[in-house]
Every structure is written in C-alpha cells, then in structure tokens.
Amino acid sequence: MGRHAPYLREMGLVQWRHVSPVRVEPAGSSGVEVTAKAACSQEAANALSALADDAAACERCDLCRTRNQTVFGVGSPRARWLFVGEAPGAEEDKQGMPFVGRAGALLSAMLFSIGLSREDVYIANVLKCRPPNNRDPLGREVRECSPFLHQQISWVQPEIIVAMGRFAAQALLETDQSLGQLRGHSHKYKINELPLVVTYHPAYLLRSPSAKGKSWEDLTLAQSIVD
C-alpha cells in the first residue's frame, strides 16, 4: 500500500490498494490525431470558459442575489471522468472552486484510490450558486441551472459521469428515485446516453463513514465501465 496508505485510510479502505491509471492509446495513433485531439481540447476549454462567464452573469434564479461568486467547475476540459455534486457550500462560494474543504479532501482521496488526480477529471455541481445557509436546492433552481451542467457535459464528453448525492443523481436522471434505488448499477445520461454511476456525496460520507465501503464499490463499478 506504501505511500498511498494515508489516502486509503481517509477513505476508510485500508484493505484496498491504489490503482495506477492506465491510458491506452489506440494502435496507430498518428501525429495528426494527436494534434486534432489537442485542438478539440482547446476548443472545449474555450467553450467552457465562455460558459463560465455566462454563469457569472446569470440571474435566472434568486441565488444570484446571495452568492459571492459562481462556482462553475474545474478540471480537464476533455476528462474521461466527470464528477457532479449538488451545489457550492460556504467555502466554495468564497473561493470560487468546487469541493474545497473537508469534503473536497475526501473527494481527492476517493480519486486517488482509483488512480486519478483532480487534474485528470472534471468536477462540477448541479447549481452554480450557493443556496443560503446550505439549504437544499429548490426544484426551480435546478431547472434553471441545469442547462449549464448539460452544456458542460456536452463539451467535456466524458466516458463516465459520477453523480454524487441524491440531488445530482435525480437532476441528471430526471427521476425522484432514492439514492439507495439508484446506486449499484449503471444508468444512461438522458441527453447523450453516456454511462452514469450514482454514489454518495463526500459530505455525507464525512457524516456516515460506514458508507465509504459502498462508495468504493460505486467507484470500482464506474472504473469497470471506463476500462
């Protein structure tokens, strides 16, 4: 387990070992293909940056009145993995970054346990503005903000979406099924049929560490789909 032990202990998974990421380039990848990929990546980065500007100016729901700033998303513009949470909390609202603080540290540990870093993935929330006092998102806020998330997913074109927590899962799958019903199998994202796996939100795992083992099962399910 070696140097990865602290991360896996943070996950509550001392029996698991870190898995190195393996990226297999298709046979015969040419310089032209590599250049084309880089151009696509730059195009996606530019589009995401423009979308982030749109969100920063957005007044579609009342959360624009109480936010310090929008929290749009971070990570690789052409990541293979895209993680979606619920909404920014107080610290995210201050820093303008998703998943900072203790929940963010646990998410980093979860990524590390499957051989990924935050730079390898793309991380976003359903809502781009913080609900006051960290209350649950309202249905109309989710409806108004969802187009931003759908466009993020369309530009990143991940191989897998991981919905973290009930709100993210229900928003992405347009269902009112419980997290317990949605966990444990692969779904299809409704817009472009991308595979989607549901797991617990890291903030919930901090409150309920006994669920970390199940979140590991969810991540390994997602990994088996990507591999």
Instruction: Please state the closest distance from residue 72 (CB atom) to ligand SF4, in A.
Output: 8
Task: List Cα–Cα distances, 119 to 18, 76, 116, in angstroms.
Answer: 17, 6, 8
* CB 155 to ligand SF4: min, Å: 17
Structure tokens at 138: 């309202």
Residue pair 61/147 in contact (Cβ under 8 Å)? The answer is no
How far is residue 197's CA from residue 24's CA, in Å, rounded to a whole number? 22
Nearer to ligand SF4, 33 or 53 (CB): 53
The C-alpha angle 93, 213, 215, rounded to 5 degrees, equals 40
Write down the least CB distance from residue 50 to ligand SF4, Å: 14
Nearer to ligand SF4 by Cβ, of 67 and 201: the residue is 67
Structure tokens at 115: 């051989």
> CB of 111: closest distance to ligand SF4 in angstroms?
25
Which residue from 78, 118, 128, 201 is in contact with ligand SF4, where contact means CB under 6 A?
Answer: 128
Q: How far is it, in rounded angstroms, from Cα 125 to Cα 87?
A: 5
Interacting stretch for ligand SF4, rule CB under 6 A, among 14-22, 53-61, 109-117, 198-206?
A: 53-61
Q: Which is nearer to ligand SF4, 69 or 108 (CB)?
A: 69
Return the residue of 141, 155, 183, 197 that touches ligand SF4, per CB under 6 A: 141
**How far from chain centre, in Å, is Cα 175?**
19
Whichever of 140 and 190 has its CB closer to ligand SF4, that residue is 140
Site string for ligand SF4, 59-88 (x = CB under 6 A): xxx-xx-----x------------------
Residue 227 C-beta-side C-alpha neighbours within 13 Å: 12
Instruction: Give the integer Cα–Cα distance in Å for 155 and 143.
Output: 20
* Residues at the contact surface with ligand SF4, assessed by CB under 6 A: 55, 58-61, 63-64, 70, 127-129, 141, 144-145
